[in-house]
Amino acid sequence: MNTRVENAVIGDFAITTGAAVRAALLAGQEIALLDVREEAPYAESHPLFAANLALGRIETDVYERIPRLTTQLVIYGNDDAHALQAAQRLHALGYTQVSLLADGLAGWEHGGGELFRDVNVPSKSFGELVEAERHTPSLSAPEVHALLQGDAPPVVVDARRFDEYHTMNIPGSQSLPGGELVLRIRDLAPDPATPVIVNCAGRTRSIIGTQSLVNAGVPNPVWALRNGTIGWTLAGQTLERGQTRRAGVYSAEARAWAATQARQLADRAGVARIAARQLAEWRADLHRTTYVFDVRDPAEYQLGHLPGVINAPGGQLVQETDFVAPVRGARIVLLDDDGTRANMAASWLAQMGWDVSVLDEFDTSRWTETGAYRPRRPALPAVAVISARQLQPLLQNGQAVVIDLAPSPQYRKGHVPGAWFALRTQLVEIAADLPQAAHYVLASGDGALASYAAAELAEINGRPVQVLDGGTQAWLAAGLPLEREPVRFASPPDDVYRRPYEGTDNPHSAMQAYLDWEFGLVAQLGRDGTHGFKVLAAQ
């Protein structure tokens, strides 16, 4: 054992070994293993259940993702100093059980811990295990193409988010996110003889979507498009772009059938059921983490929902459990307006080892909150602000430099003219290279992240720093134009991992490498041994 572990402290924080983390996972204890690097390096290598919580975004994200302040948190980062900074920030926010991973990621690996690539790995590896154990039916891209050219073409549904579908899709397909499949498929394919093809960009949501229909007892022949839009592209077939086709309103008959089938399936998977009173008790429990998710479509959620409940559409919830619920061993409660989507998502979470329940009451009179979810965040510090109208002439006269801390995809879509993209964690490195100006202004989407970082830049720069009041959203609301080009990267955009299955310009070699990686996940799960997945057997 090395010296640091023997001393059992770095700074003011205890050290937790990889073996202790592994033991907690195997025992089902509540624990969050947090990788505080940016997403791109995180995606290169991390433990199976490590959740990415970048140091620069802790204040904006942590209260929603880790709601209980006494949760056991184990931190690692680029190095001990980076992890220590994150631990200090978490402690300042009120978290009381914070420790550092012994020797960080290197210690995990040297201790024999398995390392995984990419993002949302628990869900993707679970999807591969489902296919391996249930032999989920699938067809290759050429086979699906031939069916589409035939006399009785199949119904092709895209199980991704609508924005992903809009980017590129299988010709003739329509958007039907995975959490909606069982609820809506009977209206899309009322004839039991009509084939149904489920696709995503790669494999996971195709597999889970197809197996959802199979598990629910849909009478139609159902197949996954093997390897999704990646497989379609590698087969030399053309994708559509910019489509807006969506599944329509579901009928009462389809809803009744789906509700019955989903409930029976959830019962088979061991999903528990609770009443509103028990949910209130769980939400008030200071000794156990309870995540509560409304799994309906975002448009339905915004019309009215239970106060304080996060919207997590069922298909994406199953796909992104490591992001949405980073506390392994926590309780999860799902709800919707009739049980169908909650039971379907819960049936999968139960198989993934979660303690999951469905709220078995549909009293919509309690759904008094409307609009998009408003995240809970620490109080904003007192900072000097500047309005969009005040900033505009300063920019025109070359008197101001704007540093934009928004995620790099948001920055690329539109930023204050002349703004530089920067990572908050790299302000020290970039400060000396920024242009000289009388005014330094920090911006972010709504201004919150910029407010948390303003004092740091002022200390580094030795000059006053202002925050764009209301952020880039306020600039746009003031009727001022955003700029897309040119982009000015003061920091590399490592905050986002470039997924080989997103976008339209990925090299074929990267797509094939991604598929090869997915094919190896079941073997990695076996070597890791901490997953706790139990795939439901066929009836």
**Residues 182-222: tens digit of each pLDDT:** 999 999 999 999 999 999 999 999 999 999 999 999 999 99
Complete edge-to-edge strand list for the sheet that includes strand 400-404: 384-386, 465-468, 439-443, 400-404, 420-421
Looking at this protein, which amino acid is placed at residue 432? A
| CATH superfamily, with its number, for domain 259-366 | Rhodanese-like domain (3.40.250.10)
Sign of the four-CA dihedral 53, 58, 62, 64: negative
Report the first-to-last Cα separation within the chain, whole angstroms: 50
Residue 5: per-residue pLDDT = 47
Is the pLDDT at 479 greater than 90? The verdict is yes
Confidence bin at 3 (pLDDT 50/70/90): very low
In the predicted model, is pLDDT for residue 379 greater than 50? yes
Q: Report, as an integer, the average pLDDT of 292-309.
A: 96
Cα–Cα distance, 462 to 337 (Å, whole number): 55
Is 80 exceeded by the pLDDT of residue 348?
yes
Residue range 3-117 in CATH 3.40.250.10: yes
**DSSP characters over 168-194:** -B-TT-EE--GGGHHHHHHHH--STTS
User: Count of H helices and E strands in the chain?
Assistant: 25, 21
Q: Tens of pLDDT along 441-459?
A: 999 999 999 999 999 999 9
Helix, strand, coil shares, percent, the chain, to 5: 45, 15, 40
Average pLDDT over residues 484-501: 91
* pLDDT of 1 above 50: no
pLDDT for 2: 37
CA–CA dist 369, 371 (Å, integer)? 7
Q: Radius of gyration over alpha carbons of the chain, in Å?
A: 24
pLDDT bracket for residue 492 (50, 70, 90) = very high
Provide the percentage of residues in the chain whose pLDDT is more than 70: 98
Q: What's the per-residue H, E or C state across 229-283?
A: HHHHHHCCCCCECCCCCECCCCCHHHHHHHHHHHHHHHHHHCCEEECHHHHHHHH
For 26-68, write each residue's pLDDT tens digit: 999 999 999 999 999 999 999 999 999 999 999 999 999 999 9
CATH of domain 384-477: 3.40.250.10
Predicted pLDDT of residue 362: 87
Determine the pLDDT at residue 507.
84
Task: Report the pLDDT averaged over residues 489-498.
Answer: 94
Please state the pTM of the whole predicted model.
0.94
Q: Where are the domains of the chain?
A: 3-117, 125-247, 259-366, 384-477
- Segment 104-123 shows an average pLDDT of 94
Category of 351 on φ-ψ map: left (φ > 0), alpha (ψ -120 to 50) or beta: alpha
Q: For position 508, what pLDDT does the model report? A: 86
Give me the chain's average pLDDT, please.
94
Looking at the predicted structure, is the pLDDT value of residue 422 above 80?
yes
Among 457, 489, 465, 468, residue whose Cα is nearest residue 56: 457
Give the tokens for residue 136.
């989920």
- Please determine, for residue 7, whether its predicted confidence score (pLDDT) is greater than 80: no
Please, which residues have CB within 8 angstroms of residue 132's CB and are 6 or more apart in sequence?
Answer: 522
Nearest to 296 by CA among 244, 260, 340: 340
Residues 343, 272: contact at Cβ < 8 Å?
no
Beta strand 465-468 with 384-386 is parallel
Spatial separation of the C-alpha atoms in residues 94 and 380, rounded to whole Å: 15
- Cβ within 8 Å of residue 323, ≥6 positions away: 51, 52, 65, 119, 120
| Average pLDDT estimate for 240-262 | 95
Confidence of residue 517 (pLDDT cuts 50, 70, 90): confident
pLDDT at residue 516 in the model: 87
**pLDDT class for 462, splitting at 50, 70, 90?**
confident
What integer pLDDT is reported at residue 513 of this predicted model? 83
Which homologous superfamily does the CATH classification assign to the domain defined by 125-247? Rhodanese-like domain (3.40.250.10)
Taking residues 507-515, what's their average pLDDT? Answer: 85
Asked whether 346 and 356 are in contact (CB, 8 A), the reply is: yes
Looking at residue 431, the DSSP 8-state letter turns out to be: G
